[in-house]
Amino acid sequence: MDKHVLLIEDEVNIIEALRFLLSREGWTVDTHSDGASAVEKIRNIRPNLVILDYMLPGKNGLDILTELREDPSFLTLPILMLTARGQMRDREQAEKAGVSRFMTKPFSNTEVITAVRDLVQLAK
């Protein structure tokens, strides 16, 4: 399996930290910051994994997730959702929409790498 991740995040410090961390693990990392065009970006590059922020400009991560899961070609795409909103209601909405894993910010490097490895294994 290729190791190609699309990170959809608008906070520069998180983008740089995750890009460094995942690149060191052998991933090709593309980034995108605009929620309004995120689904189009995912369709164009066809990553093996998406790391998706919950709160984005243009369209939120929950709406992006819902739109992706309505497309049969993205039903099994692993999606790790990151959020500063750790309320149970947010987690439940994301799970109902089909998120693969939900993680609150701040997170540890080990936590992210473990989640990414787990999601890739499950997708095989």
Q: Classify residue 98 by its DSSP letter.
A: T
| Residue 85 confidence (pLDDT) above 80 | no
Residue boundaries of the structural domains of the chain: 4-123
Q: What is the pLDDT of residues 47-64, one digit of tens each?
A: 999 999 999 999 999 999
**Please, which pLDDT band fits residue 86 given cuts at 50, 70 and 90?**
confident
Q: What is the rounded CA–CA span in Å between residue 103 and residue 86? A: 8
Element (H, E) at 117: helix 109-123
> pTM of the full predicted structure?
0.96
Q: What is the rounded CA–CA span in Å between residue 34 and residue 18? A: 17
**pLDDT attached to residue 17:** 96
**Please, which pLDDT band fits residue 1 given cuts at 50, 70 and 90?**
low
Q: What is the rounded CA–CA span in Å between residue 85 and residue 108? A: 16
Please name the fold of domain 4-123.
Rossmann fold (3.40.50)
Give the DSSP letter string of 14-37. HHHHHHHHHHHTT-EEEEE--GGG
